[in-house]
């Protein structure tokens, strides 16, 4: 899988365009009406390419099918930050936000505290935003620990390098657990905003292994109760931490069956509402150091329409 991925834009920069410019929508928009808080900020898009949320730290390449592949995501991140500081002027920045979605959302949680150590003394305000990156350490619908075993393998194979003394100390005998969002989140010191669905599309289809192809017809009636139970568990994982309730932090937990697009499309950015406010609204409050966290999410109905938030896209 890593070898095949190395041939795509998710595993190599060889196929990337020479330039890229996107100030057209949502959090990237240059329109102050669409994006009132970030419309005039400098943006840096660090494209994902290492397979371990910029955490790999293997010194030598690995030969697969006669070709060498590299697992040096942390080195890429270090070099990128150095270039931004000394080649692009970030060393003079006063306000910095680190953000990412999906694997990038996990990377944000993993590296937020480390990233702060690389910022210059001019920075007065530093925060982190994780979009759709809270992937739970849990067995799937069939009872198999597929996702935990994959994460453990990646952690060991890529010799993952995470700057999180508190988490590593708490998991001294199982330090790979610090590669999971739920364990990293409780130890993060950076002001952090968590934007996530408790019915995340990727989590349901891949981690829970729930789809039309994987669930026997005679077990269809078990799916919604299972997903509701998992959504409660995810809420507990997040809300039972001091991180969620800390005054400097915020969050937008919703029930839309979406992944990154649920945050970074027009509907997810400003259309989906929780208690009458959108993700954009909650983020704006949080950036101004005001209370900005949603309440406990609703749960799906056992019959149609299933979705309990009418502002979410229909299932």
What are the pLDDT digits (tens) for 54-104? 999 999 999 999 999 999 999 999 999 999 999 999 999 999 999 999 999
Determine, yes or no, domain membership for 25: no
Mean pLDDT of 250-263: 89
Query: pLDDT confidence of 263, banded at 50, 70, 90?
Result: low
| Torsion-angle region of 54 (φ positive above 0: left; ψ -120 to 50: alpha; else: beta) | left
Determine, yes or no, domain membership for 292: no
Query: pLDDT confidence of 236, banded at 50, 70, 90?
Result: very high
Question: What is the residue range of 117's domain?
Answer: 48-54+72-287
Q: Which two tokens stand for residue 87?
A: 């080649």
Determine, yes or no, domain membership for 311: no
DSSP-derived letter for residue 281 is H
Is 262 a residue whose pLDDT tops 70?
no
Structural contact between residues 190 and 248, judged by C-beta atoms closer than 8 angstroms: no
Determine, yes or no, domain membership for 198: yes
Mean pLDDT of 215-235: 97
What pLDDT does 48 receive?
79
Q: Mean pLDDT of all residues in the chain?
A: 94
Determine, yes or no, domain membership for 197: yes
Q: Which two tokens stand for residue 107?
A: 């990377």
Q: Which two tokens stand for residue 291?
A: 């209370």
Determine, yes or no, domain membership for 200: yes
Determine, yes or no, domain membership for 4: no
Q: Which two tokens stand for residue 135?
A: 């992937």
Cα 162 off chain centre by: 16
What pLDDT does 106 receive?
97
Is 22 a residue whose pLDDT tops 80?
no
Q: How many domains would you assign to the chain?
A: 1
Strand positions, DSSP E, the chain = 62-64, 67-69, 95-101, 125-131, 192-197, 250-254, 273-274, 277-278
Query: pLDDT confidence of 23, banded at 50, 70, 90?
Result: confident
What pLDDT does 15 receive?
83
Determine, yes or no, domain membership for 161: yes
Is 177 a residue whose pLDDT tops 80?
yes
């Amino acid at each position: 899988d890593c070898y095949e991925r190395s041939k795509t834009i998710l595993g190599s920069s060889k196929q990337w365009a020479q330039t890229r410019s996107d100030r057209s929508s949502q959090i990237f928009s240059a329109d102050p009406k669409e994006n009132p808080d970030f419309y005039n900020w400098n943006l840096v898009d660090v494209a994902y390419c290492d397979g371990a949320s910029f955490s790999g730290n293997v010194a030598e390449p690995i030969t697969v099918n006669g070709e060498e592949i590299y697992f040096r995501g942390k080195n890429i991140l270090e070099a990128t930050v150095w270039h931004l500081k000394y080649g692009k002027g970030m060393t003079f920045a006063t306000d910095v936000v680190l953000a990412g979605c999906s694997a990038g959302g996990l990377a944000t949680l993993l590296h937020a505290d480390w990233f702060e150590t690389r910022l210059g003394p001019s920075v007065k305000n530093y925060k982190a935003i994780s979009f759709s990156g809270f992937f739970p350490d849990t067995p799937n619908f069939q009872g198999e620990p597929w996702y935990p075993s994959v994460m453990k393998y990646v952690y060991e194979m890529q010799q993952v390098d995470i700057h999180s003394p508190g988490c590593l100390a708490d998991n001294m005998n199982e330090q790979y657990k610090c590669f999971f969002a739920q364990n990293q989140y409780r130890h993060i010191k950076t002001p952090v905003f968590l934007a996530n669905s408790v019915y995340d599309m990727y989590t349901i289809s891949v981690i829970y292994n729930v789809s039309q192809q994987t669930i026997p017809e005679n077990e269809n009636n078990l799916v919604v109760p299972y997903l509701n139970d998992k959504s409660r568990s995810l809420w507990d994982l997040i809300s039972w931490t001091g991180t969620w309730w800390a005054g400097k932090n915020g969050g937008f937990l919703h029930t839309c069956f979406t992944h990154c697009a649920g945050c970074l499309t027009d509907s997810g950015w400003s259309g989906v509402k929780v208690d009458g406010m959108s993700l954009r609204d909650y983020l704006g409050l949080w950036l101004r150091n005001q209370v900005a966290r949603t309440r406990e999410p609703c749960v799906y109905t056992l019959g149609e329409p299933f979705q309990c938030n009418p502002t979410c896209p229909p299932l």
